[in-house]
Amino acid sequence: MFRLAGLATSVSCKRGLTFTTIAAAARSDKSSMRLFAHSSTATQTQAQTHPQAHHTQNDDNFQDKSAPLRADIKLLGRALGDTIRARDGQATLDRVEELRALSKAWRRNGTGESFDALVAAVHRLDATQMHSVARAFSHFLALANTAEQHHRERRRRSARIQEAAAHAPPPNPLSTPTGFGASAPAKALEGAQPGMLNSTTAAGVLRELTQGSAPGFDQPAPVVVDANAVFETLCDSTVELVFTAHPTQVHRRTTQRIFVSVAAALAQRDRTELPEEIAAAEDDLRRQVALLWTSDEVRREKPTPVDEAIAGLHVAEQVLWEAVPRYLRSLSLRMEQLLGRPLPHHLSLFKFGSWLGSDRDGNAFVTPDVTRDVILRGRWMAAELFYHDVDALYYELSVTSCNEALQRHIGKQTVAEPYREVLRVLREKLRLTRDLARQQLQSLGQSSILTHGGAYSPHPAETATQAGSLPASSSSRSDASPSLVTCSNDILEPLELCYSSLVDVGLANVAQGRLLDTLRRVRVFGSALFHWDIRQESTQHAKALDAITRYLRLPVSYGKMTEAERVAFLTAELESSRPLIPFAFTRDPAILAWLREQFPEDANMIVDVIDTFQMISEQHPEVLNAYVISMTRDPSDVLAVYLLQKAANVRVPCRVVPLFETVNDLDNCVGVMRRLLDNRAYRRIVNGFQEIMIGYSDSAKSAGRVAANWAIFKAQQGLVTLFEDANVRLRLFHGRYVSMGLV
């Protein structure tokens, strides 16, 4: 078998790419490479195309753990070959088959003659033929990757079935159901991977912690941890995954959906033994392969920051929305089995952050308007998804009895269906919130910011203001409407009342169904699906403060201050009660004219920085997660962001996260943070908690991976010691990137 970390989404007609693609296919498993069989799939027997049927005819072959995978790849290869023949003709398929045979011969023989024959065959292709051949091999590799991912899940599932059977008590013949309605026991796939459920899964980790793991080279004897300690530690943990935008590593959502459908059809084919259902699943596979071959692999327009954010929101909607509660339900079951207690219903363990549409470091197209837009889209999508969840709960919870707390919340003496009354009100709030967000998006859509990717506007707040923005929060805005959802608590509180009431009246099993899944979604996704980080480079803040101090005619402008003078100035301003600048600083035509005259090259950037903090002041604190400062090198870099938030009247400041990413910055980060910890204004603001981001890419590029990893290790070790001594909680944010294929 072969494994590819990523698949190219664009196909070039250059011979180099064509040869590379063919060579990659040649390195595949020999039997799996029979990808474009000339015989039609209609003539294949069930035993040849279905793993379970194949098992009945050839037990020895089925013992090979890869046999079902090879069957899947052959089926997909035949479907692709049939599609190529039908769409591009037999001649195209013959060329692909010729190159496949030559590449296999070179792989088998390793001789110069074999290689020369393959190169000569590639050189005989014209540009159009080369394009078709490259697409054929590229699509086959992508389909084979999908089949392999499905096979891993198939083997993991089989391992879980075997594990459950091994730990299950012996059946009681008096209580085991028989006859009509009795379910057959789940069957495990022979050849399930040993150790599949080890430390790579939650169940494996919990079992190793509480029951001991096998001794290793650095562990002479198993170590057993008390189950209560494991439970408390797990409940006190939170994992936050942050989505970032890397346009060079993304795939089209169109092709991603096709591969998801292929995996679903393979799974459906595994779950049934009925011939008509097997045939239907294989028909669906052939349809998806035909769609893949006839769809464009690349975007013809450069994605905008809004496009990237929409792609991330679709991942939340189409994948995470169902996966998160399902995983938490599975984890809770494992905790109950291995630790004696399930996951408490009020804990989620997960959060999702986002830099999509809010990472402006080096990206001039990410403006305050763009960030407003993507946050608004997140709120609209969250309201839409929660609306459907609450609507389903409304029709499910027809229960007539409730506790006193729920009755008091309703405020009526006689309500036949109290849960539906509460859910009806919440559903209406979600509908109004969703509709208002949609209206705002439609209004914003008339501007160039959405249609052309972000030409700079000197007045970024005006569009949202004219559209009638969603209120920031009922606690920070006096005009907040009680009929709208402004934060997750507006959804959480009525649902918690329903949950507690159901438990109190003896319906805990009902409360722990759909309602519990919705409660967990609220805690994970909040009111905007993601918690957005703002990121900007440190020198941009310094330029903005230099412009402000020059406009205020201070004796020494910020740009000419020493580091000690900057820290003294920032500390004094943070402790002062007067505002640093007028609230509408960048909306004054005279000030804008002065900025463009004094800073002809940086005026737009300065306005953008100041307006970004104005945008932050408009958002609910729940929506914005942190402000990350790239290239943090001095204490003033951190204090400057706190001062700019104060100047913009941000009532609940975003936590400021310094990012240390070069080797020099990693070496100096402990000293920078020590000086900050000695600053009285800083200690008051952070209130005993600091998050620090550790960068990986820049340090590796400048010093190499070994030196970079050593610098990262030393930095983390020094920071942990420093903050422990200062009695300040420290959280490390690791900037290691994995491509998700979003666009």
Q: Which two tokens mark 208?
A: 């190793």
Tell me: pLDDT of 302 over 50.
yes
Question: Does 5 reside within a domain?
Answer: no
Q: Which residues are catalytic?
A: 246
Query: What single-letter amino acid sits at 496?
Result: E
Q: Do 375 and 506 belong together in one domain?
A: yes
Q: What is the DSSP letter of 242?
A: E
Res 287: pLDDT: 94
Res 636: pLDDT: 95
Question: Does 549 reside within a domain?
Answer: yes
Domain boundary among 529, 550, 570: 529
User: Whole-prediction pTM value?
Assistant: 0.78
CATH number assigned to the domain comprising residue 501: 1.20.1440.90
Q: Do 543 and 522 belong together in one domain?
A: no
Q: pLDDT tier at 397 (50, 70, 90 boundaries)?
A: very high
Q: Which two tokens mark 695?
A: 């960068």
Number of domains in the chain: 3
Report for 411-415, 438-442, 534-538: range of highest mean pLDDT: 534-538
What's the mean pLDDT in 644-661?
A: 91
Q: Which two tokens mark 539?
A: 């020198």
User: 737: closest CA among 359, 249, 307?
Assistant: 249
**Who has greater pLDDT, 474 or 102?**
102
What stretch of H or E contains 739?
Answer: none
User: 145: closest CA among 12, 37, 251, 13?
Assistant: 251
Q: Do 454 and 546 belong together in one domain?
A: no
Question: Does 183 reside within a domain?
Answer: no
Q: What is the DSSP letter of 216?
A: B
Res 628: pLDDT: 94
Res 454: pLDDT: 32
What stretch of H or E contains 1?
Answer: none
Q: Do 305 and 289 belong together in one domain?
A: no
Q: Do 406 and 427 belong together in one domain?
A: yes
Question: Does 428 reside within a domain?
Answer: yes
Q: pLDDT tier at 506 (50, 70, 90 boundaries)?
A: very high
Res 208: pLDDT: 82
What's the mean pLDDT in 483-497?
A: 93
Q: Do 523 and 541 belong together in one domain?
A: no
Question: Does 171 reside within a domain?
Answer: no
Mean pLDDT of the chain: 79
Question: Does 242 reside within a domain?
Answer: no
- pLDDT tens for 425-444 read 999 999 999 999 998 888 87
Q: Do 282 and 307 belong together in one domain?
A: no
List Cα–Cα distances, 667 to 54, 446, 633, 661, in angstroms. Answer: 60, 49, 10, 10
Q: Do 288 and 313 belong together in one domain?
A: no
CA dist., res. 132 & res. 88, Å (int): 8
- pLDDT tens for 178-188 read 444 444 444 55
Tell me: pLDDT of 719 over 90.
yes
Q: Do 539 and 516 belong together in one domain?
A: no
Query: What single-letter amino acid sits at 396?
Result: E
CA dist., res. 210 & res. 273, Å (int): 39
Q: pLDDT tier at 662 (50, 70, 90 boundaries)?
A: confident
Question: Does 307 reside within a domain?
Answer: yes
Q: Domain limits at 544?
A: 532-735
Question: Does 203 reside within a domain?
Answer: no
Domain boundary among 529, 554, 576: 529
User: 691: closest CA among 290, 272, 305, 242?
Assistant: 242
Q: Do 603 and 592 belong together in one domain?
A: yes
Domain boundary among 486, 514, 529: 529
Q: Do 546 and 484 belong together in one domain?
A: no
Where does residue 303 fall: left (phi above 0), alpha (psi -120 to 50 degrees), or beta otherwise?
beta
User: 661: closest CA among 702, 624, 617, 720?
Assistant: 702
**Who has greater pLDDT, 175 or 37?**
175
Give 381's Cβ-side CA count (13 Å radius). Answer: 21
What's the mean pLDDT in 674-696?
A: 91
Q: What is the DSSP letter of 344?
A: P
Report for 175-189, 250-264, 519-533: range of highest mean pLDDT: 519-533
Q: Do 542 and 445 belong together in one domain?
A: no
User: 286: closest CA among 252, 267, 261?
Assistant: 261
Is 350 in a helix, a strand, or coil?
A: strand
Q: pLDDT tier at 734 (50, 70, 90 boundaries)?
A: confident
